[in-house]
Structure 1
Amino acid sequence: MPRAAKIPRELSFAPFSGSRAVAAGLITKRMLTGPAWRRLLPDVFVHVASFEPDDHRMWCEAVALKLPSGGAISGLSAAYLWGVDLLPRRSPVHVTLPRSARPTPQPRIAVSHIALDPTDTVSFSGMPLTTEVRTAFDLGRLLPRADALAALDAMLRHRLVRREALSHYLAGHTGARGAPQLRELVALAEPLAESPMESRLRLLLHDAGLPRPTAQYEVRVLPQRALPRPAARGASRGRFVARVDLAYPQWRIAMEYEGDHHRERGTFRRDVSRYNALRAAGWLVLRFTADHVLRQNRQLVQEVRQAIAERHGTQDQCER
């Protein structure tokens, strides 16, 4: 029985250029046609044991081998490598190339043609990648508005970019496509947002002209019988009751986004206890799902508006 060919260590884990590997004497052209290798792109291969069709980093490494000078991985792919995963399944690798570059179209590569300044890119594990601030700049101006806000929220939450740094970068690129959208969203971005749906919910309230809610608010109850208005976020006084996604503390209104994980038995039980505790503390909890945010947003806004009106009226009566 013939012995299996030994796999060079240099080719065992990551994508590689077939022609370069052959030139270096690591493998032969005939071996590349064998079952041990998976072709990802023209002249780019990976060992079959390391092939994962949904591994976006693997695809980024493969695409990086084909980038011309001045090109870089950018957009959602750059955000993914920086630690912010907003990619749909089987997403192509997003790259930015010089205007003069005209590569052969590939279904696994989404190309934008922009002349990047050398200071806009860095080397990331050997891959050319747009910097954190350039990545946020591109996402905030080029993605659809709700997706763009979710991306900015996530970049701020992971401390990849500061609002001031992004505003400063924008001031130097005011003529770029989508700059007005980015200017608006920089002011609306919230580093405490914990999910894209929370970002979308907050944007819905903003677009409806409703007050800006407080994100990730800690509800606490003071021991006194007559409770004053809730303290500002981060106040340490009082017994902790719950932390809510969004809140109008002045009216004791909490808004929670319910993802699919809230259907799990343990999570459901904890939620019931939280909501009962919030109700006992005098809070009204509005619970919304993805269907509310994406398809029933008019109803969502009306429910929030009605809750504010009711609570505002009740507060006025209590203060008389």
Structure 2
Amino acid sequence: MSVHPQPLELAAFPGVKRVFRGSEALAAGQVNRYQLGRKFQRVFPDVYAPVGPLSLQDRTVAAWLWSGRLAIVTGQAAAALHGSRWVDPDVPVELNFGNNRSPRGIITRRESLPAGEIGRRGGLPVTTVARTAFDLSRRGPRRRAIADVDALANATRLSTGEVFAIAGRHPHLRGLRHVADRLDSVDGGAQSPRETYLRLDLIGAGFPPPHTQIAVARPEGRWYYLDMGWPDLMLAVEYDGEQHRTDRARYYGDVVRLEYLASRGWIVIRVLADHRRADIIGRVHRAWESRLGCAAG
């Protein structure tokens, strides 16, 4: 039976956690300077971890320790702690902390942050779901911000009403003017950033906002779920990731699924990563016109 080497290495240093402050470990006699330099890697000033790849969780803990345990985790790192998927593991860790000389890999901001907008996740102080959504919605490019909040909404019970309430309490924070537009475009049914971008492209082309995760009854009381579309027209658009082509079992299931949906009268437009936006819109437009023509006839 194989054993992962990381716990074994840490077991040789009683009391040392996976991510720790070097000065504290030295003072406690848990490591000596030679071991600190050879067995561990410096993540941030005075913060160390075992040599090897680090997760976003590792780097978030490291950033918090670097702050002297005083900072509040915010932004995408906070979203990941709340369960958001599709967060880039190499994203800088954002902290609400009064230090304008943060090391590479950490972004610090000192903003108004009442106690009611702070919680704890994974043992760390973190902005609440609503405050995290508020911060994500007012920073960065529009499409990316909407995708980030979509992911947070997909992972949590995000209430946009709570986010708007937070916006009302912080009338002077930077980026506030973006919040309403971006929140109005959020849909927690998105299962990936690509699905968010596809939905936004459809809306931008003039189509009504599509429903997401459309349930279609199938035999034996089970359901198929369509990424997005318009149930009244029985027209759906789906984004197919690489796994749809590389996973044999999934590919087989897709064939059976699409045949069943077609038998029920659904048109399903399948979109791949290398499809051009104009071509996608054209395909959806032709299917839309076909449906309207059938309805008129």
**Is TM (by shorter chain) over 0.5?**
yes
TM-score after normalising by structure 1 = 0.80
Give how far 1:6 is off: 8.1
Identity %: 28
TM-score after normalising by structure 2 = 0.86
Give how far 1:128 is off: 2.8
Q: Label 1:207 to 1:23 Cα distance change in 2 as closer, same or farther (>3 A).
A: same
Conserved? CA contact 1:22–1:29, under 8 Å: yes
Aligned-partner residue type, residue 257 of structure 1: Y
1:91 aligned counterpart, secondary structure = coil
Conserved? CA contact 2:82–2:121, under 8 Å: no
**1:42 and 2:39 matched:** no
Give how far 1:22 is off: 2.4
Give how far 1:257 is off: 0.7
Conserved? CA contact 1:163–1:186, under 8 Å: yes
How many residue pairs match? The answer is: 288
Q: Label 1:257 to 1:5 Cα distance change in 2 as closer, same or farther (>3 A).
A: closer
**1:53 and 2:53 matched:** yes
**1:195 and 2:192 matched:** yes
Work out the CA distance in 1 between the residues paired with 2:76 and 2:69.
21
Unaligned regions of 5+ residues in structure 2, if any?
1-8
1:84 aligned counterpart, secondary structure = coil
Give how far 1:256 is off: 1.0
Work out the CA distance in 1 between the residues paired with 2:286 and 2:214.
21
- Paired position in structure 2 for 1:306: 286
Q: Label 1:277 to 1:85 Cα distance change in 2 as closer, same or farther (>3 A).
A: closer
Q: Label 1:176 to 1:301 Cα distance change in 2 as closer, same or farther (>3 A).
A: farther
**1:82 and 2:79 matched:** no
Matching of residues 274-293 of structure 1 within 5 Å: 274-292=257-275
Give how far 1:21 is off: 2.2
Match of 1:172 among 155, 169, 172: 169
Q: Label 1:311 to 1:69 Cα distance change in 2 as closer, same or farther (>3 A).
A: same
1:114 aligned counterpart, secondary structure = coil
**1:315 and 2:264 matched:** no
Give how far 1:142 is off: 0.6
What is the aligned-residue RMSD (CA, Å)? 2.7
**1:102 and 2:100 matched:** yes
Unaligned regions of 5+ residues in structure 1, if any?
222-236
Q: Label 1:141 to 1:6 Cα distance change in 2 as closer, same or farther (>3 A).
A: closer
Work out the CA distance in 1 between the residues paired with 2:157 and 2:68.
26
Conserved? CA contact 1:70–1:116, under 8 Å: no
Aligned-partner residue type, residue 56 of structure 1: L
2:270 aligned counterpart, secondary structure = strand
2:90 aligned counterpart, secondary structure = coil
Aligned-partner residue type, residue 82 of structure 1: H
Task: Extract structure 1 runs of 4+ deviating beyond 4 A.
Answer: 237-241
**1:27 and 2:31 matched:** yes
Q: Give per-residue Cα distances to partners, 1:163-185, cap 9 Å, x unaligned.
A: 22122222323443332332122
Q: Label 1:265 to 1:30 Cα distance change in 2 as closer, same or farther (>3 A).
A: closer
Work out the CA distance in 1 between the residues paired with 2:89 and 2:154.
23
Work out the CA distance in 1 between the residues paired with 2:69 and 2:20.
18
Conserved? CA contact 2:118–2:128, under 8 Å: yes
Work out the CA distance in 1 between the residues paired with 2:195 and 2:11.
51
Match of 1:131 among 121, 128, 132: 128
